[in-house]
Amino acid sequence: MDDIKEYGSSSAGGIQCLTIVGQIEGHQTLPEETKSTRYEHILPLIAAVEESPEIHGLLILLNTMGGDVEAGLAIAELIAGMTKPSVSLVLGGGHSIGIPLAVAAKRSMIAPSAAMTIHPVRVSGVVIGVPQTYRYFARIQERIVRFVTDHSQVSREDYLRLMTNTDELANDVGSVVYGEEAVQLGLIDQLGTLSDALAYLHQTENEE
């Protein structure tokens, strides 16, 4: 379609398409063989979309595998702070930090076969076993929980229950919810496909 722009395109008008896939890369560079989305590339693009008189709305395609929490929250906060219409579409999976990214848009959608994995914050590498470390993790987790519950209809109780479930995942803590269940929980606004996401953005354009 002529009115869909991908980032880096100079064609005028319509909808900007932003793809966020793989792991969210923050200040630490991931190996070349790891599929990742670099947040320093995404942040100026979102700002440019908000400022451009030629772009009406933002279509965010998501298939994430977790990644840097700070970088993911930074992207989510920018999306949530936009005045232009935005719609997210979860395809395949929304893992960990992908959930704040999904709910940050004005309208969130999920493909019927897509899944969202909810689990507590974790880190790799050396962890210092002192009370300050545990308080730090708790504060990071609270930031994520608050963002998700503020930008969706899921209750805090349901989200915490899903996040700390010990019966769902093998060798892990958390839950996997699929398309329809994510909508029933209020985590995502509706089931949808690409055509539904585009229809929402075109409808908001016609209403202006």
Residues with a catalytic annotation lie at 96, 119
**Cβ neighbours of residue 206 under 8 Å, at least 6 residues apart?**
none
- The region, left, alpha or beta by phi > 0 then psi within -120 to 50, assigned to residue 55 is beta
Amino acid at the residue 13? G
CA-CA distance, 155 to 170, in Å (whole number)? 25
Closest CA to 144 of 191, 89, 185, 103: 103
CB contact at 8 A, 174 and 118 = yes
Q: Where are the alpha helices (DSSP H) in the chain?
A: 39-51, 69-80, 98-103, 131-150, 156-163, 179-184, 194-207
Query: Exposed, middle or buried: residue 139 (CB in 10 Å: 0-12, 13-18, 19+)?
Result: exposed
